[in-house]
Amino acid sequence: MNINRKSFIKSSFIASSAFLINVPILATQKTNNELSKQIKITDLKTYVFKKATFVKIETDSGISGWAEGDHSNPKLVSKVINDICKKEVIGADPFDTELLWNNMFFKGEDVGTQGVLTGAIAGIDNALWDLKGKILGLPVHKLAGGNGLKKVRVYGSFGRTGGPNGIRTPEEMGKIAADFVNQGYKTIKARMQIRQLNIDPDPDPTFETIKAVRKAIGDDVELFVDFNNGYTPSRAITIAKKLIEHFNVAAIEEPVSYLNYQGLNQVVEALDIPIFAGEHEFNRWQIRDLVTIGNADFINADLIKAGGFSECRKMAFIARAFDKYIMTHNTRPTLATAASLQLCASIPNAARVQEYAGQRIDLDLSNLFKDYFEFKDGYLSIPQVPGLGLTVNEEEMEKNKLN
Ligand SMILES: [Mg+2]
């Protein structure tokens, strides 16, 4: 009786499946499903530049995925990709992104659960999303679940390091700020790049720099300041209050060491303006602590450092449960920006203004791409083409890579 019942259920299932397969409207869907099942990853290549790491994942379908991993220590990131992560990916189904992420992270954890490992995984994970999008003919945000966002306002982000003398003067910072405003940006962020190595600097460049920046941009432009971990909590509070009072600063980023969540919480409690943090958090567990202990208002998830699109989405949902926004950390107008835009269009808590550093001619990477993002009136459009949304010039990549 039991066997007969099972046989009946089995034969009914086969019959109904056959019926469904014969419905013509599902033909395209079936073709896509079958296509994706057949595809296997055949190779993974890294492309190392002075300040960039790109990843290409090839499949037996002829379709490839391209993305960017961590730009800090590119040779080391490339080595971790090739020595630790590559073997988990070759021969795999590119649609098993959760399985591959888990294998790369937990089999590679002795390298460290943040930094170079998550920067390496990010390159691979982002390339897998690019690949999945290209196989299915969908932009990544549609594949993950779109939120309807078509464009996002960006703020011009620039730092004190660089220029002919290594460190920019307040006047040089003011000029860069004014250039952003002239291009249509309504918000800018000055990065002080003090860092913990030089904590509580004396002399302290922040007040004079922000004074020059505010003078250069006028009163109507929204101004954020990134302390880049440069102060102890009490000093950060004192400086921030002065900047708010004199220059109408609207938000402060990483006021204290990223290793001191209690100190961050102290600053959050003391100031009325939003506090940003998160570019030194590389996985969901660090974000949990940043949110629950540090209580930062905006979370700066970095798509090329923090485990890629898959992990940054998880960070976004943790943040959402605490009413925190995601403001991606993004200083690179390359596949990092593409991945950031795709994330913004697929999470429920993208901040209304996102970081962008402009075309960054200094990086000398723009010739590596055949197209560029649509920027208009201070907004970047969300790419609507299959994958992440930027087409790599493979010839230039091959020609100019350092590895
Ligand atoms: Mg920052």
Tell me the CA–centroid distance for residue 14 and ligand 1, in Å. 57
Compute, in angstroms, the gap from residue 54 CA to the centroid of ligand 1.
Answer: 22
CA distances, 140 to each of 132, 292, 346, 368, 388 (Å) = 8, 30, 8, 21, 6
- Give exposure, 233-266, as e/b (b: 16+ Cβ within 10 Å): bebbbebbeebbeebebbbbbbbbbbebbebbbb
CA–CA dist 193, 229 (Å, integer) = 8
CATH of 38-141, one of 3.30.390.10, 3.40.630.30, 3.40.640.10, 3.30.70.920: 3.30.390.10
Distance from residue 370's CA to the centre of ligand 1 (Å): 29
Please choose, from the candidates 85, 72, 87, the residue with its C-alpha nearest in 3D space to the C-alpha of residue 282: 72
> How many Å lie between the centroid of ligand 1 and the Cα of residue 196?
13
Domain borders along the chain are 38-141, 146-388
Tell me how far the alpha carbon of residue 15 lies from the centroid of ligand 1, in angstroms.
59
Distance 305 CA to ligand 1 centre (A): 13
CA 191 to ligand 1 center in whole angstroms: 7
- Interval between CA 3 and ligand 1 midpoint (Å): 65
Predicted confidence (pLDDT) per residue in 213-226, tens digit: 999 999 999 999 99
Q: Ligand 1 centroid to 226 CA: how many Å? A: 6
Burial class (CB in 10 A: 0-12, 13-18, 19+), 196: middle
In Å, how far from its chain's centre is CA 161?
A: 22
Centre of ligand 1 to C-alpha 268, Å, is 16
Please give the Cα distance from 344 to 378 (Å, whole number): 16
Task: Look up residue 42 and give its two tokens.
Answer: 């055949």
pLDDT in tens, the chain (403 residues): 344 444 444 444 333 333 333 333 444 555 566 665 689 999 999 999 999 999 999 999 999 999 999 999 999 999 999 999 999 999 999 999 999 999 999 999 999 999 999 999 999 999 999 999 999 999 999 999 999 999 999 999 999 998 888 999 999 999 999 999 999 999 999 999 999 899 999 999 999 999 999 999 999 999 999 999 999 999 999 999 999 999 999 999 999 999 999 999 999 999 999 999 999 999 999 999 999 999 999 999 999 999 999 999 999 999 999 999 999 999 899 999 999 999 999 999 999 999 998 888 888 888 999 999 999 999 999 999 999 999 999 999 999 999 9
What is the CA(223)–ligand 1 centre distance, in A? 14
Distance 69 CA to ligand 1 centre (A): 18
pLDDT in tens, 317-374: 999 999 999 999 998 999 999 999 999 999 999 999 999 988 888 888 889 999 999 9
Quick one: pLDDT at residue 268? 98
Residue closest to 304 by CA, chosen among 332, 327, 276: 332
Ligand 1 center from residue 150 Cα (angstroms): 25
Which of 167, 163, 242 shows the shortest CA–CA distance to 210? 242
Angle at 71 between CA 401 and CA 378, to 5 degrees: 105
pTM (2 d.p.): 0.90
How far is the C-alpha of 129 from the C-alpha of 143, rounded, in Å? 9
CA 298, CA 326: separation in Å to the nearest integer?
Answer: 6
Structure-block tokens of residue 55: 């990843």
- CATH code: domain 146-388 is 3.20.20.120
Tokens of 308: 């890629």
pLDDT at site 23: 37
Q: How far is the CA of 272 from the centre of ligand 1 (A)?
A: 19
The distance from CA 292 to its chain's CA centroid, rounded to whole angstroms, is 22
The residues whose Cβ lies within 5 A of ligand 1, an ion, are 226, 253, 279
pLDDT value of position 164:
83
CB within 8 A of 200, min separation 6: which ones? 230, 231, 232, 235
For residue 29, how far is its CA from the centre of ligand 1 (angstroms)?
A: 43
**Cα of 279 from ligand 1 centre, angstroms:** 6
Contact 260, 231 (CB under 8 A): no
Phi-psi region of 218 (alpha: psi -120 to 50; beta: other; left: phi over 0): left
How far, in Å, from the CA of 198 to the mean position of ligand 1?
Answer: 16
Alpha-carbon span 67 to 88, nearest angstrom: 18
